Chains A and B, each alone.
Chain A
Amino acid sequence: MSETITFPTMSKDEDAEGVLATWFVRTGETVRSGQVIAEVMVDKVSMDVEAPTSGTVTCLVEEEAAVRQGQEIARID
């Protein structure tokens, strides 16, 4: 079963654009539930994104790309 991870809502401004600052995993790798897979940033506040489940990860956005809050950033199969 596939699970999608979205960019967290970190700003009260829904339209605020964030960035996927760092990927800690690569597409095709196995991740564990709870493993930190990325660091994201909005309005200078940064946050770790954890894998909600275990499986094989697919990264959907480029590192340092602009990303909207709620946008899909990864999938775990």
Chain B
Amino acid sequence: MTAPVDVEAGARRVTTAKAISEAIAQEMRANPEVFVMGEDVGPYGGIFGSTGGLFEEFGATRVIDTPISETGFIGAGIGAAVEGMRPVVELMFVDFLGVCFDQIYNHMAKIHYESGGNVKVPMVLMMAVGGGYSDAAQHSQCLWATFAHMPGMKVVAPSNPYDAKGLMASAIKDDNPVIFMFHKGVMGLPWMAKNPRSIGAVPEEEYTVPIGKAAIPHPGTDVTVVSVSMSVQHCLDVAEKLEGTTSVEVIDLRSIVPLDREAILASVAKTGRLVIVDEDYKSFGLSGEIVATIADKDPSMLKVPVQRVAYPDIPVPYARVLEYEALPTRDKIEAAIAAVMKG
């Protein structure tokens, strides 16, 4: 039988999707100015389950199904936010950012700065990311680097239910715009193959997970493996498999902006070996930024060159055999660890 994550006796386990909707519900109960907008977020509960139960509890005024008008409703979220409300807006797939990106990067992200700090945009923009189930080029991307590259918005991507609930609570409480990216593969959906790590113990009470702080779910001494989102689950599977052979330290970034550079530097200072696992495109992105973090500070802390297990610079192909050639899978992570250990 597939085993869920170890918990104390009596602790409750839920899926990442449920953890997200629970965080939103708790914030909505606490603050009448929190509301949800997006496509199919109402009775449907979100295409990937992120708003399950919210419509039943809060109704159509606070959980709003929108037309297919992303520029319109994301802009509307911005407007409500500048007037002090706290919208949680869903962009169904990150890949749809093209139709509404001006509102996001030129408005949501810049209004606070352009106003000299006088106007705040306390908005959460959540979205489904990631591939591995043949949804092809326009429905499988991660794109956290694209958002991270533009100043003015925080970017978080949880890998498990506990962090998902805590990060969503933090995101809603944050006075800044937060991009909340949930990988479809970590949601624990009943209609998609899932890693058992997508089901986990989540306290029923309210709590937060700090934005900008990485976690180290598997400490080690031989090699630092830095990752985020779904890939963290793969890294943990590999780290556990290699126990006794190689001591792998897995860093779950949890946030891309702010990036916890201190955690990365401290770990690499200890191990001297770095593997980065990133499902977003390899070039001009997160993995390069992590390498730059080391190079900027002290490249001599590296005993061997860095291994980047990142998505190649190709659009996501449809056929399973092609898609899995590109994805940062467990065997590629293991091979990268072997490479830095050999060098």
Bound-complex Cα distance A17 to B31 (A):
43
Kindly list chain B residues whose C-beta atoms are within 8 Å of the C-beta of A63. 1-2
**Total number of A residues with any Cβ neighbor in B under 8 Å:** 23
Partner of A25, one of B13, B188, B190: B13
Kindly list chain B residues whose C-beta atoms are within 8 Å of the C-beta of A46. 190-191
- Asked if B14 and A36 make an inter-chain contact with CB atoms under 8 angstroms apart, the answer reads yes
Kindly list chain A residues whose C-beta atoms are within 8 Å of the C-beta of B1. 23, 26-27, 59, 62-63
- Asked if A22 and B188 make an inter-chain contact with CB atoms under 8 angstroms apart, the answer reads yes
- Asked if A24 and B199 make an inter-chain contact with CB atoms under 8 angstroms apart, the answer reads yes
- Asked if B4 and A26 make an inter-chain contact with CB atoms under 8 angstroms apart, the answer reads yes
Dominant secondary structure of chain B at its interface with chain A:
loop
* Proximity bits, B50-92, A CB within 8 Å = 1, else 0: 0000000000000000000000000000000000000000000
A-B contact count (CB 8 A): 44
- Asked if B190 and A24 make an inter-chain contact with CB atoms under 8 angstroms apart, the answer reads no
A32, A62, A63: which has the most chain B beta carbons within 10 Å? A63
Name the CB-closest residue of B to A19. Answer: B190
Q: Is B9 an interface residue (CB 8 A)?
A: yes
- Asked if A41 and B3 make an inter-chain contact with CB atoms under 8 angstroms apart, the answer reads no
Q: Is B10 an interface residue (CB 8 A)?
A: yes
Partner of A44, one of B10, B191, B194: B191
* Proximity bits, A41-77, B CB within 8 Å = 1, else 0: 1001010000000000001001110000000000000
Q: Is A4 an interface residue (CB 8 A)?
A: no
For residue A31, give the distance in angstroms from its CB to the closest CB of chain B: 8
Given A24-B199, A26-B3, A32:B10 Cβ within 8 A: yes
Bound-complex Cα distance A36 to B12 (A):
8
Write the residues of chain B forming the contact surface with A, with a CB cutoff of 8 angstroms: 1-4, 9-10, 12-15, 188, 190-191, 194, 199
Write the residues of chain A forming the contact surface with B, with a CB cutoff of 8 angstroms: 19, 21-27, 29-32, 35-36, 39-41, 44, 46, 59, 62-64
Offer 22 A-B interface pairs, CB within 8 angstroms, sorted by A: A19-B190, A21-B190, A21-B191, A22-B15, A22-B194, A22-B199, A23-B2, A23-B4, A24-B4, A24-B12, A24-B13, A24-B14, A24-B199, A26-B3, A26-B4, A29-B10, A30-B9, A41-B191, A46-B191, A59-B1, A63-B1, A64-B2
